[in-house]
Every structure is written in structure tokens, then in C-alpha cells.
């Protein structure tokens, strides 16, 4: 037996939950993404998706992707740096830059590679990168890849952040990186306070809008626009895999920083460029999102209804201010169990356990789309309330 086989032969944590019949991962969907999907032979309400605009099955987006496939082929066979740039990529970048109120934009093949690549290269030796301790894993990995000194502050604790900034050289490059909307808990970053600290301590600021795009701000521009602070944020990151119904990501900022990233960011220049179909799909989704403001209105109508109902039923939902609603369980085994029981009852939700949260803060994540109805939400709430009461999680 080889070294790796010897090391990992005893890794059986997933098998423990498989044997208990509550393993929740890698379930195969056999239909289009939507508010209801076919999965393992039966239909379930989908409350585990990040498709906040509800556009993943929209025929206009499917047609745009098909047209790009016919015109450009299935792939680009190279990186953006060399032979992989299409006029389609350039058009999307220009539109996203205008949408986010920045000079320029770069599109990547995934959102993860945006954070991993950008953070690792914009700060280096002698610099500092400071993150919220609940930032997304891609931010954490980007921080780890950087040669900058890595620091983090307690979640949304501006006093803790300021105590850190006080110790750092005023003239040093200091990049604060934060999620606009925290993907598990659903709460927002304290952007006004972050901007104040940015100016007080001579920092730069990067905001990850993965879960803010399509949800907050004018036409769904995100949390930076929601607070009216776009001009105060140096770099804005976003993804296509959520509200924009595709796969990929982008970074938007001033022309000089984007020029630097265009020529030095390893996950950009050494990754194959995003497929024509995925790029066209994201662009069409952006157009629809801007042209149909009723989607944002519908999303907030069902979100507010769900928040009200979960509170009425006695669920612990934390500080969420978004369509991401955490239903706290505070027990890993019970988190898996309620996920399984919900699936059996026709409701798909996502379990959240370490390392995505602290061991004492396990939860199931209930997420909403603009295409959900109040009737669907009510069915979900009632099914989950029954399960949580039976398990002694709520009264």
C-alpha cells in the first residue's frame, strides 16, 4: 500500500453518516433547476439554491447559450491571456464594469478563482490582508496564497478590527476583504463602519458580492450600492453562478489595478477562459435582471414572508437580513437528521457544519428565489416546523 493510501484508509467520517442513512451530499438532480426539482425519483421543493433571481431555467438564457455554442463552439482552448479572449468576454466585462460603477472589469472561469487569484497577488511582502473570520473559503485561500501578513477579526466586530488596525503601520498597504452578504448566516457586512475605518487607518477595501448581486441595491447591483458606498470600495467581486444563472466570476475596480491584475493574476492568465455558452448565459441574465425589476421585488416579498413565518414558528434564525435564512440546530448529528427528514418530506435544504461554521453553530440553510411563491414557502415552513419540534429543536 502506498503512502497516500496508508494515510487515508481510515478516513471514514462520511461513511458513518452513510451507514446512519442521513448522508446529505451529492444528490443527483434529474431536471432543470427551479423552485421544484426532480431528485432521486421524486419532486422536492428547492430551498437549497443560490439562484436568487430564479433565472437558471429561463428559456431566454438557454437560447443565448445555444446561440453562443453555435457561433463560437464549445470552448476557447486557451487562457484569456493568449488565444482565449472572445468579443463576448470583452462585452460582458464592459457591461459589468458599468453596472458596478467601476472603470474596468475582468471575468474569470469561477468565482473561487477570482478571490484566490486576486487577493494573492494584490498584496505581498510587507503588506497586510485583514479578513472577517466568517469570510468565504475562497477568500481564506486567497489570503493563504499571499505573501502578505494575514490577520482576521471577529465576525462583524468593528472594535476588534479597529484594535488590529491600530497596530499596523499607517503607510503600509492594508487590504480589508469582506463578504457583502455572509453566505451561511445571511447577515450583511457593516460597510459604512468599514469605510470609516478604511479612511481612518489608510486601508483599501475589497467586497465579495457573490450573494449580494441580484439581491441588494439598484437593479441588484449589490451591497455596495445598497449602502451608497460603491465609490468607497476599491475592488468589487461577484459571481455568475448565483443570480446570473451561469458559472464564472469577475473583479471590478480602477483601471490601473485591473491592468495589473490582467497581467499578473495567475488564476486569470493560467486558467482556460470561460466557455462561450457560460459567458453568453451570464450576459443575458444580467440583461434580464436589469430589465425586470419585478424579480427583485418578488424575491423580497417571499423573503419577508419567510422571515416572518420562521419567527412566528419559533425558529432561531440569527441576524439574517437576506434571502439566506439560517435555521440553527446546534448539533451536527441532528443537522444531518433534519436535512434527511426534510428531504423525505419533499423539502431540499442544505446542512451547514464545520468548517463552514463553528461546531456549536450548526444549521440548515433555507434560501429563496424570486420565483418561489408564498404557498411554496408556507409548505416548507410547515414541514420544517414539524420536524424541528419532533426533534426538540424548537418548542
DSSP string, 94-149: HHHHHHHT-SEEEEES-HHHHHHHHHHHHS-TT-EEEEETT--HHHHHHHHHSSSE
What per-residue confidence (pLDDT) applies to 358? 83
Using one digit for the tens of pLDDT, what is the confidence trace for 50-108? 999 999 999 999 999 999 999 999 999 999 999 999 999 999 999 999 999 999 999 99
Asked if residue 355 has a cis previous peptide bond (ω within 30° of 0), the answer is: yes
> What is the structure's pLDDT at 356?
82
For cell 418561489, what's the residue?
A: 372
pTM (2 decimals)?
0.96
pLDDT at 386: 98
pLDDT of residue 371: 98
Helices (H), the chain: 3-8, 13-19, 59-72, 87-100, 111-122, 137-145, 158-166, 191-200, 223-226, 255-264, 266-269, 276-291, 294-312, 332-344, 374-390
Q: Are strands 324-328 and 363-367 parallel, antiparallel or unpaired?
A: antiparallel
- pLDDT of the residue at 357: 85
Q: Is 157 helix (H, G, I), strand (E, B) or coil?
A: coil
**How confident is the model at residue 177, as a pLDDT?**
98
Given a cut of 70, the residues of the chain with pLDDT beneath it are none
Q: Residue 42: its pLDDT value, please?
A: 87
Q: Give the 3-state secondary structure of residue 29.
A: strand
The closest alpha carbon to 253, from 273, 233, 283, 269, belongs to 233
Distance separating alpha carbons of residues 389 and 313, to the nearest angstrom: 10
Cell numbers 419559533: residue: 314
| Predicted pLDDT at 123 | 98
Q: How far apart are CA 215 and CA 324, in angstroms?
A: 11
DSSP class per residue in 169-189 = -TTS-EEEEEESB-TTT-PBP
Amino acid at each position: 500500500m502506498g503512502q497516500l493510501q496508508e494515510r487515508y484508509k481510515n478516513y471514514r467520517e462520511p461513511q458513518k453518516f452513510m451507514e446512519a442513512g442521513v448522508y446529505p451530499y451529492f444528490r443527483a438532480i434529474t431536471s432543470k433547476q427551479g423552485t421544484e426539482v426532480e431528485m432521486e425519483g421524486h419532486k422536492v421543493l428547492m430551498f437549497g439554491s443560490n439562484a436568487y433571481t430564479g433565472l437558471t431555467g429561463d428559456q431566454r438564457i438557454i437560447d443565448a447559450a445555444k446561440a453562443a455554442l453555435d457561433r463560437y463552439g464549445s470552448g476557447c482552448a486557451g487562457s484569456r491571456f493568449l488565444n482565449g479572449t472572445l468579443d463576448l468576454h470583452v462585452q460582458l466585462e464592459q457591461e459589468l464594469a458599468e453596472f458596478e460603477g467601476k472603470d474596468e472589469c475582468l471575468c474569470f472561469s469561477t468565482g473561487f478563482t477570482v478571490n484566490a487569484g486576486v487577493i494573492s497577488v494584490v498584496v505581498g511582502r510587507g503588506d497586510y490582508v485583514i479578513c472577517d473570520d466568517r469570510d468565504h473559503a475562497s477568500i481564506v485561500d486567497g489570503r493563504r496564497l499571499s505573501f502578505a501578513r494575514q490577520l482576521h477579526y471577529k465576525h462583524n466586530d468593528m472594535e476588534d478590527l479597529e484594535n488590529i488596525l491600530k497596530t499596523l503601520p499607517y503607510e503600509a498597504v492594508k487590504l480589508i476583504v469582506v463578504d457583502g452578504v455572509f453566505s451561511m448566516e445571511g447577515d450583511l457586512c457593516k460597510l459604512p463602519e468599514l469605510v470609516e475605518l478604511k479612511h481612518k487607518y489608510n486601508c483599501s477595501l475589497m467586497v465579495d458580492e457573490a450573494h449580494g448581486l441580484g439581491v441588494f441595491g439598484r437593479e441588484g447591483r449589490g451591497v455596495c450600492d445598497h449602502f451608497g458606498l460603491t465609490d468607497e470600495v476599491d475592488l468589487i467581486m461577484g459571481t455568475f453562478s448565483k443570480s446570473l444563472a451561469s458559472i464564472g466570476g469577475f473583479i471590478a475596480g480602477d483601471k490601473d489595478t485591473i491592468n495589473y491584475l490582467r497581467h499578473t493574476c495567475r488564476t486569470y492568465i493560467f486558467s482556460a477562459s470561460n466557455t462561450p455558452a457560460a459567458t453568453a448565459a451570464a450576459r443575458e441574465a444580467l440583461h434580464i435582471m436589469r430589465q425586470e425589476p419585478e424579480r427583485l421585488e418578488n424575491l423580497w416579498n417571499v423573503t419577508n414572508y419567510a422571515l416572518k413565518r420562521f419567527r412566528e414558528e419559533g425558529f432561531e434564525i440569527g441576524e439574517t437580513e437576506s434571502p439566506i435564512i439560517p435555521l440553527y440546530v446546534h448539533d451536527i448529528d441532528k443537522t444531518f437528521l433534519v436535512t434527511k427528514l426534510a428531504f423525505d418530506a419533499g423539502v431540499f435544504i442544505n446542512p451547514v457544519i464545520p468548517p463552514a461554521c463553528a461546531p456549536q453553530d450548526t444549521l440548515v440553510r433555507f434560501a429563496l428565489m424570486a420565483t418561489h411563491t408564498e404557498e411554496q414557502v408556507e409548505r416548507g415552513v410547515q414541514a420544517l416546523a414539524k420536524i424541528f419540534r419532533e426533534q426538540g429543536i424548537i418548542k
